[in-house]
């Protein structure tokens, strides 16, 4: 298996933190061109500096872009194509979960959550579609959640939106084949910026971050006994985003440490 991805271009939305940042590093390790985006200029600058220290910036492009803004996506697409000449893999990763129950989610929150989960895939995928088609081995990988199959009432809107998203991804896989493969990874819990923010919001934890994470994993009853690491999600994205998985489309990889309660 060829592990040299020189000349292959990977776009990662939300590449400034957590899973997206680990994925950027995973692809840069093997010589790929990598373009990342995020909304916040400061976080983008820190991520770019971090990556540049490890890999230089010859193969790196960082652009400020909100994936829910069609015009910003157009600028992102033009920047990537202008710099690298095309695109081979799009990782739709940008986003976050919404902690709310059916009683506490108001109409605006429902709309925001549905918009985020659908258009964070629709806008970038449409924007890069032509270039992915020209790749000869185009691949879209969506970073989704186990919630799409295993809802949790305290994340009601996110879970419902993720379920619809999985359905959308499957339709895209059929329609865009054979030029573009479309797959997703289903995350249970992976340590990232999201979990750091939840720890900071949990004023009653009385723990340091590591102890808090261990307790969360224990309370959830995750069979592998811990949260996943962003690098473990990145490895699955790497597989789906390269021709290593050339006969796989419309599929999912579970990254949940055995937290999934269903069979199949
Ligand atoms: P992080 O908060 O560490 O990273 C999220 C990234 O997305 C950041 O770079 C953020 O940058 C960016 N982002 C968020 N919204 C937008 C937007 N509208 N446009 C562009 N960029 C955006 O979280 P994770 O690494 O955990 O999250 C990655 C994905 O994995 C998300 O879709 C998340 O929902 C999903 N996931 C994660 C789980 C986990 O346990 N970690 C569980 C299930 C799913 P900025 O804020 O500057 O825009």
Quick: pLDDT tens for 199-230: 888 877 777 888 888 888 999 999 999 999 99
Tell how far the Cα of 134 is from the centroid of ligand 1, in angstroms.
28
Shared domain for 142 and 211, answered yes or no, is no
Shared domain for 36 and 148, answered yes or no, is yes
Q: What CATH number has the domain bearing residue 130?
A: 3.40.50.720
Q: What are phi and psi of 216, to 5 degrees?
A: -60, -45
Whether 59 maps to a domain, the answer reads yes
Ligand 1 pocket test target in 75, 91, 96 with most atoms within 8 Å of CB:
96
Whether 95 maps to a domain, the answer reads yes
Helix runs in 94-208, H state only = 107-135, 156-176, 193-201
106-151 residue pLDDT tens: 999 999 999 999 999 999 999 999 999 999 999 999 999 999 999 9
6-62 residue pLDDT tens: 999 999 999 999 999 999 999 999 999 999 999 999 999 999 999 999 999 999 999
Residue 31, phi-psi category: left (phi > 0), alpha (psi -120 to 50), beta (remainder): left
Tell how far the Cα of 56 is from the centroid of ligand 1, in angstroms.
24
Rounded to whole angstroms, the Cα distance separating 228 from 194 reads: 13
Atom 31 of ligand 1, residue of closest alpha carbon = 95
User: Which ligand 1 atom is at minimum distance from the Cα of 230?
Assistant: 25
Shared domain for 181 and 203, answered yes or no, is no
Shared domain for 214 and 172, answered yes or no, is no
pTM (two decimals): 0.96
Ligand 1 pocket test target in 25, 48, 152, 194 with most atoms within 8 Å of CB:
194
Shared domain for 160 and 220, answered yes or no, is no
> How many CA atoms are closer than 13 Å to the CA of 67, on its beta-carbon side?
28
Q: What is the pLDDT of residue 197?
A: 85
User: Which ligand 1 atom is at minimum distance from the Cα of 158?
Assistant: 34
Whether 167 maps to a domain, the answer reads yes
The total number of structural domains in the chain stands at 2
Whether 4 maps to a domain, the answer reads no
Residues in CB range of 260: below 8 A, 6 or more apart? 146, 149, 150, 186, 188, 254
Shared domain for 70 and 154, answered yes or no, is yes
Residues in CB range of 171: below 8 A, 6 or more apart? none
pLDDT of residue 252 exceeding 80, the answer is yes
Q: What is the pLDDT of residue 1?
A: 54
Full domain range(s) for residue 203: 191-227
Rounded to whole angstroms, the Cα distance separating 217 from 224 reads: 9
Q: Which residue matches tokens 């990342």? A: 36
């Amino acid at each position: 298996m060829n592990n040299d991805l020189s000349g292959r271009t990977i776009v990662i939305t939300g590449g400034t933190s957590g899973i997206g940042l680990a994925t950027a590093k995973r692809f840069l390790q093997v010589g790929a061109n990598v373009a990342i985006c995020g909304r916040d200029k400061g976080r983008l600058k820190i991520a770019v500096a971090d990556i540049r220290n490890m890999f230089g910036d010859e193969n790196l492009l960082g652009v400020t872009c909100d994936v829910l803004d069609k015009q910003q996506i157009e600028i992102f697409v033009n920047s990537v194509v202008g710099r690298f000449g095309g695109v081979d893999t799009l990782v739709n990763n940008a986003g976050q979960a919404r902690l709310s129950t059916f009683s506490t989610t108001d109409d605006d929150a429902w709309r925001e959550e549905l918009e985020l989960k659908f258009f964070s895939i629709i806008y970038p995928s449409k924007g890069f579609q032509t270039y992915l088609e020209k790749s000869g081995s185009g691949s879209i990988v969506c970073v989704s959640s186990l919630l799409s199959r295993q809802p949790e009432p305290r994340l009601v809107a996110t879970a419902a939106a993720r379920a619809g998203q999985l359905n959308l991804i499957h339709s895209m896989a059929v329609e865009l084949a054979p030029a573009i493969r479309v797959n997703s990874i289903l995350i249970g819990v992976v340590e990232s910026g999201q979990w750091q923010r939840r720890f900071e919001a949990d004023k009653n934890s009385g723990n340091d971050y590591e102890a808090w994470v261990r307790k969360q994993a224990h309370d959830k009853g995750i069979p592998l006994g811990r949260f996943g690491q962003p690098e473990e999600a990145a490895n699955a994205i790497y597989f789906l985003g390269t021709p290593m998985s050339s006969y796989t489309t419309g599929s999912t990889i579970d990254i949940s440490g055995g937290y999934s309660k269903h069979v199949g």
